[in-house]
Structure 1
Amino acid sequence: IVAADIPFFKLSNDSFKRFVEHYTEEHIPDQTTLRKINLPRLYEEILIKIRKDLCEEKIWVSIDETTDSKGNILVISVVILRKRMRNPTNILLMNLAFADLSVSIFCIFQNLSLYLSSEWPLDDLMCKMYHFVQSLSYTTSILTLVMISIERYLVIVFPLHAKNMLHKRKLMYALIAIWLCSILCCSPRLWMFGTVTVPTGPEEEVVACIIKYHLYNPKIYHIVNFIALFLVPITVMTVIYSIVYCRLNDSEKSFKRLSRSGTSSTIRSKIEVDNESTQIPLSARKTDSRNKDPESNKRNCVRLAKSGELSIEKRRKLTILLIAIVVGFFICNFPLHCRKLIQDWYPNYDGTTDAAIIATIATNLLLFFNSGLNPLLYALLSQNFRENMAQILCFRRN
């Protein structure tokens, strides 16, 4: 099996020999001439067997292709077709779904072809696009997640100013800026990667999609990428969501205190300041501190306090969902960064060992799995998304 950044010709004879011997159960002589005769034939037999298993026994090797494309298309459909779902947070989540969807179009099947063929089966443009889109999706996702955390911070901490600051036009400008910035950051990959023809015998050659190390310094590139597009954003989001969660807890405690000791007008003012989207019942709006009936005022206090607590609980659930998305992103992408840093900075790193090959494949699969993970989180942790997804799937209007 040949991974994207471990091309066929880079595999050492010993590693490749053990691989072929394991899957064909045939002994391969140590002599170089005999290896050249036997290895290509046996390796081709392995590929034929894998293709046969895929076609006849219907073994599915793409772990998350289904949830990736269909799940993200469903998320996009929910936000576009359901008018009440078009709030700033959901629009940003839709942008995240677009970034994840691009992975299923340009990356998953191309990566699968690397595991089923001894050479790159597509042209030079697709080689460049494969690595460019993979990086573009990652960069767009991390910048969108940061933007979502900022949006939540503004709504929770500065509710009176949030509506003006998160106007639809400004939000569209932010989305355009995210994509332009991502394209700019990832554009070097269009010339860093390409196809090369490598001779494998007297009259044989393979086409490999490889990274051109002579065009850049991988150590500097990967460490800057890790700090600027992983460590800093994750730290910023951790700080922001910590502030947001503490603020929600403080607001909940305030409502509980006011429900015990405050007047209905005081609680109503607190709700209007603390939650710009809360709809207060008309009967409650007509009642204020001038109400002479203590019992009526107490009932209004309890009703308004419950309304405020319910709104805070909804926001808390949304915040938990967003934190889960960030945690999922961290778990799926951190191993890839670690592998690349070890690959660049560990002097004795050998990319041809079994452990290195398995680590490469596993980290790539984790990266792709993250693209299909978010729709599952929406369905599990958001009742609003879950209900609207069900309505879309069942072709229901209401």
Structure 2
Amino acid sequence: MYNGACSMILTPYSIFISFIYVTCLILSLIGNAIVILTILGKRHRSRSITNFYLLNLAFADLLRSIICIPSTLLSELTQCWILSSLMCKIVAFLQPVGVCASAYTLAVIAVERYYAICRPLESRKWQTKKRALVTISVVWLFSFSANIASLFSYEKITKFTCDSSRGPTFDFVYQLYITFALLFVPLALMISLYGNVIFTLNTAINNDNPTLEQHLIEKTLPSRASFSDWFSTTINRVPSMKLMSKSVNFSRLTVKEKNSLSIPRAVSARASRRQSSFSSFLNFSPRNSFDSSMLLRSTNQEKILIAKKKVTRMLITLVIVFALCWVPSYMYWLIIRMADLMGNNLWSSSINASLTVLTYVSSMANPITYCFMNKSFRASVLAFFRKNQNHATRCSAMPIRRSPSPKESPPNIPAIKIDLVLENSVQI
């Protein structure tokens, strides 16, 4: 703790910066708490793999906000480090730990999205909730171990803040190390993976061409004429269907030939009805049914691709926000440490305060990004707050469905059923 005189210094600048700090703290606490409660409020089976990672991201942002923002606010208002030397170590250690956990959680989400979209068959083998928890544990273990040096280097208490006591050479090397490990590595990984994801999604959507699909369908199935000819040839070989075949052959005669035949009116009407019913059967081709099913499947696949693209767009926004909030701060401190190594002093209190505010914005920006870009998350938040109120009503209104007994269940015999709609309800 600094032993000199520390007093509250209220200037328009300090009041403005303090107001921003308080706003960031409140929004971060509320937003990340809502994210945590919403995800934990879901049933265990309804939590996706991405939800586990977003939960970890919210926890890391919440931890960093609680530990770092109040101490920075006190330093800004008093222009002193009024906390103990132990708090100096804790704050200097937990801030990069939280940043590292956030960065590598975003990187793990990028890996998960890459395998889910680009390699879906491989992702099913290892993307389980148990492995997600193991991955999160590895992220935190790496975050603590990668920043252990800051726990033993920040022991120098100056008038304004706590600082490193290892010398300019150590400070520059350490700053270069954390810039590479905590910023460049996860950011490069995210850019590379999301680049592949965007390319895969755009390629899949652009290749979803109905004309091409229709061409493939026509090549796969026989035409309607060929199917009709095949069926006509087949039924002509069946003795019980000779009358129907005669009616079909009768339809192929010319008008003059039809008039030359003396057929009773009742027989002629019956033959015409059979002809119309058989024509309707010929018009009912498996190709029509197959076309409809393919169209529905194509529409569903397109909707799935669009939904995946929206989720990926939201996650990419998180990465962009992370980069915009942290790259300037890391670059500034790298320049400061390099200048200290060369014997120059480039420290600026106003620049440092502005960049610090920018880093705290990242803690509150993630929940805002969820709300504005994810309709499903907004619905989950509203459902969480209405859960206790509507739970009893929903349960009482839910019908109880009894599964059929083995006696009631139909026999497991495959059958092909073709329903024919006949004109004037006349059946053959």
Q: SS state of the match for residue 64, structure 1?
A: helix
Counterpart residue number, 2:184: 231
Instruction: Indicate yes or no: 2:36 matched with 1:76.
Output: yes
Q: Secondary structure at the match of 1:107?
A: helix
Deviation at 1:66, TM superposition (A): 1.5
Q: Does 1:64 align with 2:24?
A: yes
Q: For residue 364 of structure 1, what is the aligned residue in structure 2?
A: 356
CA deviation string 1:11-39 (max 9, x = no partner): xxxxxxxxxxxxxxxxxxxxxxxxxxxxx
Map of 2:48 onto structure 1: 87
Map Cα deviations across residues 70-126 of structure 1 (whole Å, 9 max, x no partner).
101111111111136511111111111110000121111111010112432222221
Q: 1:185 to 1:216 in 2, by over 3 A?
A: farther
Determine the C-alpha separation between the residues in 2 that align with 1:167 and 1:155: 12
- State the alpha-carbon separation in 1 of the partners of residues 69 and 154 from structure 2: 17
What residue number does 2:371 align with?
379
Report the secondary structure of 1:194's partner residue: strand
Cα displacement (A) at 1:253:
2.9
1:325 counterpart = 2:318:
yes
Counterpart-to-counterpart distance in 2, 1:308 and 1:261:
18
TM-score by length of 1: 0.73
Equivalent-residue separation in structure 1 for 2:205 and 2:111 (angstroms): 21
- Structure 2 distance, partners of 1:388, 1:172, is 22
Aligned mate of 1:102, from 36, 58, 63: 63
5+ long unaligned stretches in structure 1:
1-6, 10-39, 199-205, 267-290
1:338 aligns with 2:328: no
Alignment-mate amino acid for residue 75 of structure 1: V
How far 1:295 moved relative to its partner?
2.1
Superposition pairs of residues 143-292 of structure 1, within 5 angstroms: 143-194=104-155, 196=157, 209-214=162-167, 217-257=170-210, 259-263=213-217, 292=285
Deviation at 1:194, TM superposition (A): 2.6
Q: Which residue matches 1:25?
A: none
Give distance in 2, aligned partners of 1:126 and 1:232: 29
The alpha-carbon distance between structure 1 residues 85 and 345, as it changes in their structure 2 partners (threshold 3 A), is farther
Q: Structure 1 residues 215, 49: CA separation in 2 closer, same or farther (over 3 Å shift)?
A: closer
Identify if the C-alpha distance between structure 1 residues 160 and 146 changes in structure 2 by more than 3 Å, giving closer, same or farther. same
C-alpha contact 2:153 2:165 (8 A) present in aligned 1: yes
Q: Partners in 2 of 1:384 and 1:122 — Cα distance?
A: 43
CA displacement at 1:195 relative to structure 2: 5.3
> SS of the residue aligned with 2:167?
helix
Cα distance in 1 between the residues matched to 2:183 and 2:120: 29
> Which of residues 31, 34, 47 is equivalent to 2:9?
47
Structure with larger Rg? 2
Shift of 1:292: 3.8
Structure 1 residue 47: Cα displacement: 2.1
Please give the alpha-carbon distance, in whole angstroms, between the structure 1 residues aligned to 2:366 and 2:329. Answer: 19
1:210 aligned counterpart, secondary structure: strand
CA RMSD of aligned residues (A): 3.0
Conserved? CA contact 1:8–1:208, under 8 Å: no
Percent of paired sites with the same residue: 24
User: Which whole-Å CA distance do the structure 2 matches of 1:311 and 1:336 have between them?
Assistant: 38
Shift of the alpha carbon at 1:59?
Answer: 5.8
Sort the Cα spacing of 1:177 and 1:60 in 2 relative to 1 into closer, same or farther, 3 A: closer
Shift of 1:263: 4.4
CA contact (8 A) 2:28 2:363 kept: yes
Matches within 5 A, 1:16-55: 44=7, 47=9
Q: Matched residues in 1 for 2:102 and 2:316: separation?
A: 14
Q: Deviation per CA, 1:194-223, whole angstroms, max 9, x where unpaired?
A: 354x7xxxxxxx695222133961121111
Q: Distance in 1 between matches of 2:27 and 2:216?
A: 49
Deviation, structure 1 residue 49: 7.3
Q: Per-residue CA shift, 1:254-278, capped at 9, x if unaligned?
A: 33345433449x9xxxxxxxxxxxx
